Structure 1
Amino acid sequence: MTAITHVPRRPLRRRLAVAGAAATVGLLLAACGGQSGKEDAERGGAHATASSPEAARSAKGAFNDADVRFARRMIPHHQQALEMARLADGRASDARIERLAGRIEKAQDPEIRTMRSWLKSWGKPEATPSHGMPGMDHGSDAAHGKDGMDGMDGMDGMMSRKEMDRLKAAKGVAFDRAFARLMVAHHKGAIAMAKDERKNGRNAAAKKLAGDIVTGQSAEVTTLRTLLDRL
């Protein structure tokens, strides 16, 4: 007679127990992982918020007269750059000039809003011309403070009304060349003001924006000079 071998039932129970334990561990790991992921997401969200341009350029913190002067002067300076950039549509013949004008508008329009918010939070009024639109009627005399404009004295790079009128009247290659030449001078004025803010300002956000202006507009000056050589 063939002997019947009985398979012990204990290994099956052990397998079931191990499977159950594994499932339990899996659930615990999933729960921990989910909690960790949630915490990571929350930390990431907080980091993203803190790293956003709005948060990075908040005017919170100490400020001094140099910071106020920087914002007051740079707002109309940027406004004139925007007016120049918007003239490129329908007048420029070189696609590179049009693209650069678009980049200038995209960068400087938000910066104007940022600086206005600083002045408001600091309780300082925005300095504007006694007549006309801010940044639009800054003739040669205005650029040197001869029309009583608050904080506009010595502002380099501002176009005169005659220069703006000539730019408006130009088209094609003549516009491209005039735009590049005038924007180089305009940018150099902004760079000088930004360097002064970096040296004498106190507010961290204002000094950061000044550094961005120096870097960005210096690169654009290089591009504009290259374009002038090729136009």
Structure 2
Amino acid sequence: MRARMRVYAATGALALLTACGGTGMTGHEGMSSAAPVAATAARAPSANDADVMFTQMMIPHHEQAVEMAGLAASRVSDVQIKELAAKIKTDQEREIGTMKGWLTAWGKPAMSGHMGHEMPGLLSEKVMKQLASAKGQEFDKLFVEGMIAHHNGAVEMARTEQTDGAHPEVKKMAAHMVIHQRGEVALLQEIGQRL
């Protein structure tokens, strides 16, 4: 994974589009909002290539999780999955806002979708269509399987950031992701055993 991230860093400039602007972004739980991020960027250590690539890749990765969680609102049959999906949606939307704020502060562009990159845990278009067309217990099973894979991929990316990154706020978010998404994976596995 580390080698793959370095390849992305080397080729990222070819795959990136213009930066996302955006206003009214909220900060990550216990972290700065987008406005303070810009204000503190000059005082904090500079973001290195690993920080930038992690942030650029994690935004579309999170966006897919938000899309999956949004589908659960009207398709899921299990109450516990519905509650967890709502939490995932809220948490990851907050993190997306923070990460977009970082890219803006650093003067770095955001990716448009996943730009063909193979990101750990990212579900294929085919699987997303299956999820979108499923309901009830069929949806529950697909959601649990998909979100476990998705979260495990995010944890892999976050661990690479913890090792290779330099910016303390980005590393702090990565550490948060490892802890919380591993916890959600454990819960999803428990739910999956009774479906």
Distance (whole Å) between structure 2 residues aligned to residue 154 and residue 170 of structure 1? 25
* Amino acid corresponding to residue 91 of structure 1 in structure 2: R
Give SS of 2:75's match: coil
Find the counterpart in structure 2 of residue 53 from structure 1.
Answer: 31
Counterpart for residue 68 of structure 1: 52
Separation in structure 1 between the aligned mates of residue 140 and residue 30 of structure 2, nearest angstrom? 35
Larger Rg: 1
Gap runs ≥5 in structure 2: 1-28
- Is the Cα contact below 8 Å between 2:58 and 2:154 reproduced in 1? yes
Q: Which of 61, 74, 79 pairs up with 1:77?
A: 61
Q: For this pair of structures, how many residues does the alignment match?
A: 161
What is the alpha-carbon distance in structure 1 between the residues aligned to residue 30 and residue 183 of structure 2? 23
| Cα separation, partners in 2 of 1:203 and 1:95, compared to 1, 3 Å | same
Instruction: Kindly indicate whether structure 1 or structure 2 has the higher relative contact order, using CA contacts under 8 Å at least 6 residues apart.
Output: 2
Runs of 4+ with deviation above 3 angstroms: 55-59
TM-score by length of 1: 0.66
Aligned to 1:181: 145
Q: CA RMSD in A?
A: 1.8
SS of the aligned residue for 2:101 comes to helix
Q: Give runs of aligned pairs for residues 109-188 of structure 1, distance below 5 A.
A: 109-128=93-112, 134=113, 149=115, 153-188=117-152
Of 148, 152, 157, the residue aligned with 1:193 is 157
- Does the CA contact (< 8 Å) of 2:33 and 2:98 recur in 1? no
Q: What per-residue deviation string (whole Å, max 9, x for no partner) do you get for residues 16-72 of structure 1? A: xxxxxxxxxxxxxxxxxxxxxxxxxxxxxxxxxxx9522698362221000000000
Structure 1 unpaired stretches of 5+? 1-50, 129-133, 136-148
Distance 2:137 2:154 in 1: 25
Give the letter for the 1:54 counterpart. Answer: S
Q: Map Cα deviations across residues 83-114 of structure 1 (whole Å, 9 max, x no partner).
A: 00000011100000100000101100010010
Paired with 1:153 and 1:165, the residues of 2 have a C-alpha distance of: 19
Alignment of 1:86-101 (within 5 A): 86-101=70-85
> What code does the residue aligned with 2:135 have?
K
Is the aligned partner of 1:215 residue 2:168? no
Percent identity, please.
43
- SS of the residue corresponding to residue 54 of structure 1 reads coil
Q: When the two structures are superposed, what TM-score results if normalisation uses the length of structure 2?
A: 0.78
